[in-house]
Structure 1
Amino acid sequence: MTKPNDVFESIDTDLNTTSSKQLIEQQATHWLLIQDELDLDQKVQFEQWLVIDPEHERIYRRLEEALSLVEQIPVAQSSDPVVLVEQLNNSSKVTIATDKVAVNNHVYRWFAVAASIMLIAMLGWFGQEPQEAGPVIAQQIYQTETAQVETYLLVDGSVVTLGPDSKLLVSISNQARSLKLLSGEGYFDVVTDKIRPFVVSSGQVGVTIIGTEFNVRYNSHSIQVAVSEGLVEVELQDMRTKLQAGEVIIADNSSGLSQVTSIDPALIDDWQQGQLTYQDVPLGHIVSQLNRYYAGQIIVVGEDVEQLRVTASFSTQDIPSVIQDLAAMLSLEYTQSGDTWLLTKPAMVKTN
C-alpha cells in the first residue's frame, strides 16, 4: 500500500508551474496536508504560491472549506474517505469531533484530505469559476536585503517603500488590491480608488484603506501600524479599530490590539532617511528592527530585558554605536564577538 507521504513527496511546488488545473489541485492538496508542520521558509513559499495565481488561492480555499466539513464528522466512525463523505451527506446534524489524538494523527488527516477531495468533486467546487475576483493585472514579489531600502511604483500608481530585509507580495486585479507583508517594514502611499480597496495583511493582521499614507512594521511578536495621512481600519481576528493621521497601534496575536496612541506623523517614515525613532517601545522590538540594518546579529538575553521600554532616536548609519547607546541608557552590559553582540543584565556577564 502506498504511504500517504509518498503520494505527495513528488508534487512540484514550483511557483511558476501553473499550466494545469489538475496540477494546481495536487499542489493545493500538498500544502493543506502539511499546513500544520510548515517551518518559516515553507510558510513564505506557501504564501508565494498562494498569491502568484488567483486560481491557487481559489482551489486551496475550496479544499480547506471541504476539509473543515469533513473533520466535523465524529472521527471514530471511519477512516475510509468514501464512508466519510457518505456520513457527511447523510448527517442531519454535524457534530464537532472530540478525539483530538485522531484529528491530529497524520494518517487520519491524509484520509480526511482525501475525503475532502471527493466531496469537492461531488459538489463541483474545483470547476466553479471565481465570482468576485477579476482578472489579475499584476502580481509581483518585492524583496530587499539587509540595510537596503527600495521604493517601488505599483501598477495602480501607489508607491511602496520597503525597509531592509523585507518581503512583500502584491496582487492587483480590476476589482481588488491585495498585498501581504511577510517580513520587515513597508511605507505605503496609496492612490485613491473607491472601487478597489487597498488591503495590506501581515500575519493575522489586516489593514484596509481607500487612499492614505501609512506604515506597517512586522516584528516576530507583533505588527505595528502607524498612519501619516487619511484613515485606515486595522483588523485582528474579530477586533477592528480605525486609525487616523498621527495615530499608531500594535497588534499582537496573544494580547490583541493595543490602545491607540499618538505619534508625530513626520516621524513615521523617518527610517527612510536613516533615522529610527521610538516612543515607549520594548527593547526586543527595537533590536528586531536593528538586525535588519546590521550584517551581524544582535541578541537580547532574558525576556525581562526584552521588555525594557525605550524612548529614543538613533541613526542607522552606525549600528554598533546604537547598541552601546542602548546599553548605557538601560544600564545593560554588552559583549561583542566578531559581528555578534549580546545585551544582558550586568549580573549575567562573567568577569575575570
Structure 2
Amino acid sequence: MTKPNDVFSRIDTDLNTTSSKQLIEQQAAHWLLIQDELDLDQKAQFEQWLIIDPEHERIYRSLEEALSLVEQVPVAQSSDPEVLVEQLNNSSKVTMSTDKSAVNHHVYRWFAVAASVMLICMLGWFGLEQQEVSPVIAQQIYQTETAQVETYQLVDGSVVTLGPDSKLLVSISNQARSLKLLSGEGYFDVVSDKARPFVVSSEQVNITVIGTEFNVRFNPSSIQVAVAEGQVEVELQDKHAKLQAGEVIIADHNRGLSQLTSIDPRLIDDWQQGQLIYHDAPLNHIVAQLNRYYVGQIIVVGDTVEQLRVTASFSTQDIPSVIQDLAAMLSLQYTQSGDTWLLTKPAMVKTN
C-alpha cells in the first residue's frame, strides 16, 4: 500500500461542510483568512488548490470580492455580521472609519471573512443556508500512471484501489466524505459511517453510500457503477437509482441512467486481478480502458466500428495480443505503426 500524493495539509476552519460544493467554500474561506500569512510552501499549495478545479477559483474569487466589499463597512459600528450586511445594502461605498492597526489583524480578518461568507449566503451568491459548523478537512490527490494499479487507505479507514491512468481528489471532514474521480477507474471499500455519507462524484454523476464496496469506471460520455457489497444511490440530472450488490448501471450524459443489469459481484474488481471481462460492451468502451494499460495508443476508426459489441475476457499483460484478438473476433483490420494501433473495417476488394 503506497502513501498518497498529499499536496494539501490538514485545514482547520469554522465554516460548514455538508456537500462537495460546501467543502470548496470552506477551503476557500480558510485560504482567504490566512492569505497574508502564507510562506512559500503554503503559497505553492494554494496555487495548486486553485488550478485543481475551476470551481475552486470561481468560489475563491467570489469570496474575495465579497471580502473587499465587507472591508468597506465601518467595523466599529457593529460586531454583528447581519448588521454589516444591512449597512452594505444601505451604502454601496462606505469609508473605513476604524484604524485596522488598532486591532489584532488576524482577528479583524477572521471577522471580515466570516462576514463575507454570511454576506454571500444572504445575497444568494452560493444559494446555501448556514448550518452547523464542521472543523477539519483532510484533502489529498491520488494519481496513477499508465499500466499502474495502486491501493490507498484514506484517513477514515476506507480503502481505494485506482486503476491505470486514474486521478482522484479526496476531501474528508468530520461531517462529510467527498471524492471526485477525475479520470480512470476506482474500486472503493467504504468504512460504514452513517453520520458521514461517502459521496463519489464524476462529472455530473453522484454516487452516495454509507458502507459498501463498489466500482466506478470512466467510459466515453458515460460512467459505469457496479456494486459488489451493500447499496449505493446514483444520481444524474435529477434522476436517481438505487443499486444492490450484483447490480450495474450506466450513467450516460446524453441518454441518462440505464436500466439496472445483473453482474457477478466476483467480476466487478476483475481488473485488479489482471483480467478485463466484458459482456455486450461497445468496442469504444473497451478500447478506452485498454488505453489506460498501454503506453502507446489504440484508435478505432468509424462510428459503426466503435459501437460493435463484445463479450469476452482479456489479460492486461499483453495489450497488443488483445488488439489482434479483437480484430479477429470482429472481422476488423488492424494497422500498427510503432506504439500506435488502428482498428478499421477491412478494405473492400473489387472483383471483375
TM-score above 0.5: yes
Q: In the alignment, which residue of structure 1 is the partner of 2:216?
A: 216
Deviation at 1:198, TM superposition (A): 0.2
Question: How do 1:36-51 and structure 2 match up within 5 A?
Answer: 45-47=51-53, 50=56
Q: Cα distance 1:161–1:136, how it changes in 2: closer, same or farther (>3 A)?
A: same
Deviation at 1:57, TM superposition (A): 7.8
Deviations 1:295-324 (A, max 9, x none): 000000011111111111000000000000
> What TM-score do the two structures reach when normalised by structure 1?
0.67
Q: In the alignment, which residue of structure 2 is the partner of 1:243?
A: 243
Deviation at 1:137, TM superposition (A): 3.5
Q: In the alignment, which residue of structure 1 is the partner of 2:204?
A: 204
C-alpha separation between the residues in 1 aligned to 2:308 and 2:157?
41
Point out 4+ residue stretches in structure 1 off by more than 4 angstroms.
15-19, 21-24, 56-64, 120-123, 126-130
Q: In the alignment, which residue of structure 1 is the partner of 2:158?
A: 158
Q: Cα distance 1:212–1:121, how it changes in 2: closer, same or farther (>3 A)?
A: closer
1:174 equivalent to 2:174? Answer yes
Look up the equivalent residue of 2:340 and give its one-letter code.
T
Deviation at 1:280, TM superposition (A): 0.8
Q: In the alignment, which residue of structure 2 is the partner of 1:124?
A: 119
C-alpha separation between the residues in 1 aligned to 2:117 and 2:140?
35
Q: Cα distance 1:146–1:324, how it changes in 2: closer, same or farther (>3 A)?
A: same
Deviation at 1:348, TM superposition (A): 7.1
C-alpha separation between the residues in 2 aligned to 1:348 and 1:220?
29
Look up the equivalent residue of 1:238 and give its one-letter code.
D
> What TM-score do the two structures reach when normalised by structure 2?
0.67
C-alpha separation between the residues in 2 aligned to 1:230 and 1:213?
7
Uncovered stretches (5+) of structure 1, i.e. residues with no partner: 1-14, 25-41, 51-55, 65-88, 90-119
Q: In the alignment, which residue of structure 1 is the partner of 2:13?
A: none
Deviation at 1:224, TM superposition (A): 0.2
Uncovered stretches (5+) of structure 2, i.e. residues with no partner: 1-26, 37-47, 66-88, 90-114
Look up the equivalent residue of 2:32 and give its one-letter code.
S
Does the Cα contact within 8 Å between 1:333 and 1:349 map onto a contact in 2? no
Q: In the alignment, which residue of structure 1 is the partner of 2:345?
A: 345
Q: Cα distance 1:190–1:121, how it changes in 2: closer, same or farther (>3 A)?
A: closer
Q: What SS class does the counterpart of residue 124 from structure 1 fall into?
A: helix
Q: Percent identity?
A: 75
Does the Cα contact within 8 Å between 2:63 and 2:116 map onto a contact in 1? no
Q: What SS class does the counterpart of residue 20 from structure 1 fall into?
A: helix
Q: In the alignment, which residue of structure 2 is the partner of 1:258?
A: 258
Larger radius of gyration: 2
C-alpha separation between the residues in 2 aligned to 1:134 and 1:297?
45
Which one of 19, 26, 32 corresponds to residue 20 of structure 1? 32
Q: What SS class does the counterpart of residue 347 from structure 2 fall into?
A: helix
Q: In the alignment, which residue of structure 1 is the partner of 2:321?
A: 321
Q: In the alignment, which residue of structure 1 is the partner of 2:143?
A: 143
Q: What SS class does the counterpart of residue 271 from structure 2 fall into?
A: helix
Look up the equivalent residue of 1:191 and give its one-letter code.
V
Deviation at 1:47, TM superposition (A): 2.0
Q: Cα distance 1:349–1:309, how it changes in 2: closer, same or farther (>3 A)?
A: farther
Q: Cα distance 1:122–1:344, how it changes in 2: closer, same or farther (>3 A)?
A: closer
Q: In the alignment, which residue of structure 2 is the partner of 1:74?
A: none
Question: How do 1:284-295 and structure 2 match up within 5 A?
Answer: 284-295=284-295
Using CA pairs under 8 Å that are at least 6 residues apart, name the structure with larger relative contact order, 1 or 2: 2
Look up the equivalent residue of 1:47 and give its one-letter code.
D
C-alpha separation between the residues in 2 aligned to 1:49 and 1:228?
32
Q: In the alignment, which residue of structure 2 is the partner of 1:98?
A: none
Q: What SS class does the counterpart of residue 347 from structure 1 fall into?
A: coil
Q: What SS class does the counterpart of residue 156 from structure 1 fall into?
A: coil
Q: What SS class does the counterpart of residue 323 from structure 2 fall into?
A: helix
Q: Single out whichever of 127-136 and 189-198 deviates more from structure 2.
A: 127-136
Q: Cα distance 1:343–1:45, how it changes in 2: closer, same or farther (>3 A)?
A: farther
Does the Cα contact within 8 Å between 2:232 and 2:242 map onto a contact in 1? yes
Does the Cα contact within 8 Å between 2:29 and 2:63 map onto a contact in 1? no
Look up the equivalent residue of 1:242 and give its one-letter code.
K
Deviation at 1:122, TM superposition (A): 11
Q: In the alignment, which residue of structure 2 is the partner of 1:271?
A: 271
Look up the equivalent residue of 2:120 and give its one-letter code.
W
Q: Single out whichever of 168-177 and 124-133 deviates more from structure 2.
A: 124-133
Q: Cα distance 1:162–1:122, how it changes in 2: closer, same or farther (>3 A)?
A: closer
C-alpha separation between the residues in 2 aligned to 1:348 and 1:48?
48
Q: In the alignment, which residue of structure 2 is the partner of 1:99?
A: none
Q: In the alignment, which residue of structure 2 is the partner of 1:69?
A: none
